[in-house]
Chains A and B, each alone.
Chain A
Amino acid sequence: MTIRKITALLGLISSVSVFAELAPMEEAEMESVTGQGGVYLSGELAFNKDGGPLWGATSGQFDEFGSEKQVRNCGTASEPEECGIRIAAQLDQGGWYVLDDLSGGFAFEGLTLRTSFRETALNYDVRDASGNPVVEAFNKEVVEIGLPKTVSLNNFKFTLAVANSGEWKPDGTVLADGNTFQQTNLFGIQMNGDITLKGNLLLFPVN
């Protein structure tokens, strides 16, 4: 059986609405996990919901240990905005790829986490006459993450950029190599609203 591999960690989405051709989980499969432990999780995952510890949009802001934050405004002069997370990666000795101003959150009700034993799984490389993946013997222990149906995005946004420094610097800052700090924003993404995620994400090792 061939299953999508991501190096040794395999994620099998057994039923996700965005892949309409995938079959929903069989009732028998659902019953096979009844009575086991696990948790039903509700809540949210949020990035820089109320700003971050390093930068304040205006002067006079302090981190929670009492030190004044540096000023970096990710809004406009008239409508200052706190900045999100900045992640910079240098692939070679040249410039830096930057995922900047990452902020916002995902709220959900009903993400489940449990361990289950799967006797069968869908083989996406073998299709039946209708084009659906066939069910094959599997017999593996998996960590099953039940997707929470509806996930609400709350002002989730980020900006992709390139820069000549891993650290953000105020405009005009001269770097150690003598160059002035430069960052070019390529594009930004902002998302609000709900997305639907149904089914389960199964995690298990493969060699």
Chain B
Amino acid sequence: MKNILFPISALALAINVSNVSALQPLDESEMSSVSGQSGITLNTSTESIVASQISYEEDGVALQLNDFSLTGVNGANFDSSSVIDIDADGRLTIDSISGSRELSIGSIGLSGSNKSFMGIEGRYDYTSKFHIAGSGDGVYDLSGSEVQMHFDRLNFTDDGLAWILDDYTFSVIVNYGHLMFDNDTMTIDMGTESNRGLHLGYRVGAVGMSLDANNPIGFDDPLASTFGAVSFNLDAYGTFKIKAGGKTGEGITFIPGLTLINDDDNDGIDGNETPAFMYTDDGFIMLAKDFTGTFSTVSGFSLDLESDAESPYMAIRFADFDFAYSLNDLVLGGTQADYDNGLSQTLGSFKGEFHFRDDLVNNRLNYLYFRPGGAVGNDGITADISWNIVSDPYVTATDAQGDFNKPGALNTYLAMNDNGNYVYFNGFNSYGIGRVTMDMTSYAANPGTGGLYGATGLYSDNYDGNFDGLRIGFEDLQGSYSFAGVTVGRSEEEALDAPLMGGTELLLALEIFPSYDFKMNGNLTIAAGNINTGGQGITLNTDLYISEANAALTVNEEGRGVWLTGTTYDIHMRNATLDVTDNGLTINKGLAWSTIRVSDIKFGDKVNGESLGTFELSRLEDGTTISVASGGAGQVCIGGSGATAAACGADGGRFEDRGDQGLTVKVRAIFVKDDGTDPRYAGKGNSFSWTQPNGTTLALNNFSTNDGTGNPNQNDYGFNVDLAIDVAETVVLDDLGNEVLTAAGERPLGFAVFGRVHFKQLNIDGLTLAATPTSTPQTLIQGIVIQNADIQANLTATPIR
């Protein structure tokens, strides 16, 4: 295939138009409205356009759009008006405006399969300006073109259910765009940073669902519960190439060399800019300002239509892909008014890089194979995915203090800037492979076979029904990730040239591990709206089973440390919710129960290390919340008490001001007890056991929280774990006990985590000991009651030098 932009030879565009209405003549008033314009004005009024199938074929597999129709609203015709002109400079302009019309695609699938990805329904209108000027050398100038499309509703349908975008608008403005053809490649040049080619706008007023196949929500029906409003505003520059031919045979290859950017806050006035991203949930906002993201690949993303013994599929492959982003302000929580008045707090700024590379030696590839049909019903999406994210190994450098290990040149990392200081989580490597499915599902359509409390009921470990919403299923999704270590610095360069150290150990309370292997099965269902409050937000239900897991508690660059190996993690959540609030982002886990079983706690490497034994932790929580808010520890007094430097010093402490930025994560766990009154709790509970390799088992039975009022059912305060994360100066002493300062006379920077555990009352029903796995446990302690606890660990990590 040569000299062809799109592989026409393989493209079978089969449109069976069953009914295209006759064009209506313009009436006098319409004619009068266009008088005086130059060029040609084309007004159309169409009753309908219907096609039984539109297909695009590659290598014998066709992407099919079935039962396509475009009709007017409520039986009326749909209108459009275009003015076609050629300017004095030879530029062709086509300015169009449309009336409202309704689009329907019954199903989108692949030939050879009786399943489909989805259907699409929508009511929309648009305005567009296409400006095209040819230079005669094969370059076409599209500058000045723009498109804006507005959907009253856009529905993605799945077996009669629908995911609904309400009041959805997107726009593309081409400030600079050149289209070039070169042999089998079309290149879109979108300018440079100083001459940005595109402005992209995207806004969804609300996201809702239609969950009754027999009574679908129409375009004019109100949405019962919604996700909230989302908007993006970005400029784009760089190049985008489209090349004929896929990975093999026919197909298309996309090669982006793009930067997406929004730095629309250069005037320095808070609230006086359009954020790159904003989400609004019941009036509370989450937004990102000053965003830059770069996307680049050498080999590109190839798109092929293929088939195997299971089904046809659409394959997207990329042998290399680099993504880098920076985000200078992330606002979490508060209202639009707070933001407009400069009262919003920011989490600080973030940046990161991700580097995808195919590893042919180890067969770790990057691809997405999309198969029609999900895990439920006839429609949906099945994606076979594989990824390989890489970093170079650490390198050894030398400074005045000796040798140290620092991040390699190709470094996948996540970084945070906290009041001008940087912390980097470096050397991220991850690979995985498995299957992910997506379906719209409904509890009413399939409530399972066990009712609420049966063996396969809603509140069992083995629930066999569906939840309301978008179901994301995981089938043997096996993966692994690891970090090489943390670095800190007063500049990005300093942080990337600093010694690698531990530090992620301080985040273990959040179940963030420095290294983790896993295999995941189960599903997570996302529904629009907060089911508990009736407001906006997201509702989550999940049954996940993680197996073959190895989690590092602490690990060095060589992968040696303390590992939890052979781990399984059985997780269930019912009516969990996620909301943006006045103070930040809050996840309410709803009713949650889980069991972690660790086969071996290994010291050394995760395969051959010596075992400390096994442990099992079961938890039953009702109403546990996890909140993420801006601001770190703020002002702290270490080694004393006092809210001011003077008061702290007078008490023998060291006062530190860690600034107003940083990140605070608060977990408020409500551990509940099955006392027989709530059938949802039956058979579940909170317990911990440790079995040594010789079989001796120590067990903590039935722990639970309450508010210490004497009423065991008053349980609002919970078991709280608060973590405030900052980058801050700290005291480092040498072997002689002298304080170590930097060359500039400053205290070294560290990764500072202020952890706090506080609860009113924790009850443990007993501590038992069994000598062997078969012996009867003996009670060592009948009961333990811990009250009024507020335990703080204020630790700052720096490299060991």
Contacts and interface: CB of A to CB of B under 8 A. Distances in A.
A183 B653 CA distance: 34
Interface in A132-148: 140-143, 146
A42 B639 CA distance: 11
Contact of A52 (B730, B790, B800): B790
Contacts of A197: none
Contacts of A113: 502, 505, 554
Contact of B604 (A8, A35, A51, A141): A141
Contacts of A84: 788
B784 A46 contact: no
A86 B707 CA distance: 14
Chain B interface residue bracket vs A: 35 or more
Contacts of B561: 115, 143
B710 interface: yes
Nearest to A91: B781
Given A149-B733, A154-B640, A167 B787 contact: yes
The main secondary structure of chain A at its interface with chain B is strand
Contacts of B785: 86-88, 96, 166-167
Contacts of B396: 35
A85 B786 CA distance: 7
A114 B561 CA distance: 8
Given A90-B783, A154-B640, A205-B612, A53 B505 contact: no
A85 B789 contact: yes
Contact of B793 (A43, A72, A83, A141): A43
B247 interface: no
Nearest to B764: A89
Contacts of B760: 53-54, 63
Interface in B555-576: 555-558, 560-562
Interface in B749-797: 750, 758-761, 763, 780-797
B791 A47 contact: yes
Nearest to A101: B788
A44 to B, nearest CB: 5
Contacts of A49: 641, 790, 792
Interface in B647-661: 651-654
B708 A167 contact: yes
Interface centre among B560, B651, B790 (most CB of A within 10 A): B790
B783 A154 contact: no
Contacts of A83: 788
Interface centre among B709, B780, B786 (most CB of A within 10 A): B786
Given A85-B787, A166-B785, A109 B603 contact: no
Given A50-B790, A167-B787, A35 B797 contact: no
A45 interface: yes
A110 interface: yes
B708 A39 contact: no
Interface stretch (B100-108, B141-149, B416-424, B689-697): B689-697
Interface in B508-562: 554-558, 560-562
Interface in B203-250: none
B601 interface: yes
A78 B732 CA distance: 41
Chain A interface residue bracket vs B: 35 or more
Contacts of A9: 612
Interface string A46-70: 1111111111000000010101001
A42 B795 contact: yes
Contact of B787 (A7, A40, A54, A149): A54
B67 to A, nearest CB: 55
Given A105-B639, A141-B603, A149-B733, A89 B784 contact: yes
B87 interface: no
A27 B612 CA distance: 29
Contacts of A93: 782
Given A37-B502, A38-B501, A115 B798 contact: no
A167 B693 contact: no
B794 A46 contact: yes
Nearest to B638: A44
A88 B640 contact: no
Contacts of A45: 791-793
A123 interface: no
Interface string A6-40: 01110000000000000000000000001111111
Interface string A96-118: 10000000010101101111010
Given A85-B787, A114-B502, A50 B692 contact: no
Nearest to A63: B717
Nearest to A84: B788
Contacts of B557: 36-37
Contacts of B758: 52-53
A92 B603 CA distance: 36
A205 B502 contact: no
A86 B792 contact: no
Given A40-B801, A43-B796, A143-B554, 15 more contacts: A39-B800, A42-B795, A44-B794, A46-B794, A47-B791, A48-B791, A49-B790, A53-B759, A63-B717, A70-B708, A90-B784, A140-B610, A143-B561, A143-B562, A207-B694
Closest 5 CB pairs of A and B: A107-B639, A141-B604, A52-B788, A166-B785, A37-B556
Interface of A: 7-9, 34-55, 63, 65, 67, 70, 72, 83-93, 96, 105, 107, 109-110, 112-115, 117, 140-143, 146, 149-150, 152, 154, 166-169, 203-207
11 contacts: A37-B556, A40-B798, A42-B795, A44-B792, A46-B792, A50-B641, A54-B760, A92-B782, A143-B562, A143-B603, A207-B693
